[in-house]
Amino acid sequence: MSRIQQFSATLAKWRGRPERPGYRSGLIGAILSAFVGLALLLPNNALLNGSHDIPFWFKKAVAPGDIKIIAMDEASGAGHTPWNRTRHAELLDWLKTEGVRAVIFDVFFRDPNPTNDTKLIDSMQRHGLIVVGSHLQQIQDSAVDLNYELQTPYPAILQAASTNGILEVKGSATETVRRFWPGRADLNAKYTSLTWAAATSLDPELSRIGPHPPRGWLLNYYGPPRTFTVVSYLNATNRPPGFFRNSIVIVGNMLGTGLEGQSDKFRSPYPRSSYYSDVFDGAEIHATMLGNLLRREWVREPNPNLTFIGILLLGSIVGWGLTRCKPVSATILAAVAALLISLVGILAALELRIWLPWLIGAAVQIPVALAWAILADSVRAYGDNQALRRSLSGYLSPNVVAHVLRDPASLHPGGRKQSISILASDLASFSRISERMDATSVMGMLNQYYTQAVCYVHQSEGTVLNLVGDGMFAIWNAPLAQPDHPARAVRAALELQYWAAQFSANIGNAPLRVRIGLNTGEACVGNVGGTDYFNFTAIGREVNLTSRLEGLNKFTGTGILCTRAVAELVGSEFTLRSIGWFRLAGIDQTVEVHEILGDARLESETRQWRTLFAEGIHHFQRASSDPNEFVKAAAAFERTLAIHPGDGPSIFYLASIERFRRTGLPSGWLGEIDVTEK
Q: What is the pLDDT of residue 195?
A: 94
C-alpha to C-alpha distance for 505 and 549, rounded to whole angstroms: 26
Coil/strand/helix, residue 583: strand
Write down the mean pLDDT value for the chain: 85
Integer-rounded Cα Rg, in Å, for the chain is: 45
Q: Average pLDDT of 40-65?
A: 90
Q: What is the pLDDT of residue 534?
A: 65
C-alpha to C-alpha distance for 170 and 185, rounded to whole angstroms: 9
Q: What is the DSSP string of 586-644?
A: T-SS-EEEEEEEEEGGGHHHHHHHHHHHHHHHHHHHTTTT-THHHHHHHHHHHHHHHHS
C-alpha to C-alpha distance for 232 and 226, rounded to whole angstroms: 12
Task: State phi, psi for 477 to the nearest 5 degrees.
Answer: 75, 15
Predicted confidence band of residue 73 (pLDDT cuts 50, 70, 90): confident
Alpha helices in 67-212 (DSSP H): 85-98, 117-127, 155-160, 194-202
Contact 201, 131 (CB under 8 A): yes
318-374 pLDDT tens trace = 999 999 888 899 999 999 999 999 999 999 999 999 999 999 999 999 999 999 999
122-172 pLDDT tens trace = 999 988 899 999 988 877 655 555 677 888 999 999 999 999 999 887 655
- For residue 116, pLDDT beyond 80: no
Q: Which of 76, 154, 77, 144 is nearest to 114 (CA)?
A: 154
Contact 538, 523 (CB under 8 A): yes
Lowest mean pLDDT among 33-47, 429-443, 589-603: 429-443
Sort residue 531 into left (φ over 0), alpha (ψ -120 to 50) or beta.
alpha
Q: What is the pLDDT of residue 188?
A: 57
Q: What is the pLDDT of residue 394?
A: 38
Q: Average pLDDT of 433-438?
A: 76
**Residue 212, exposed/middle/buried by CB under 10 A (0-12, 13-18, 19+)?**
middle
What domains does the chain contain, in order, with CATH numbers? 19-55+303-383 (no CATH), 59-295 (no CATH), 416-542 (3.30.70.1230), 571-678 (no CATH)
Q: What is the pLDDT of residue 257?
A: 62
C-alpha to C-alpha distance for 480 and 463, rounded to whole angstroms: 9
Contact 151, 134 (CB under 8 A): yes
Q: What is the pLDDT of residue 275?
A: 57
Q: What is the pTM of this model?
A: 0.57
Residues in the chain: 678
Q: What is the pLDDT of residue 10?
A: 45
595-627 pLDDT tens trace = 999 999 999 999 999 999 999 999 999 998 888
Coil/strand/helix, residue 423: strand
* 401 or 652, higher pLDDT: 652
Q: What is the pLDDT of residue 113?
A: 78
Q: Which of 134, 129, 133 is nearest to 95 (CA)?
A: 129
Q: What is the DSSP string of 171-198?
A: --TTS---EE-SB-GGGTT-SBBHHHHH
C-alpha to C-alpha distance for 584 and 589, rounded to whole angstroms: 8
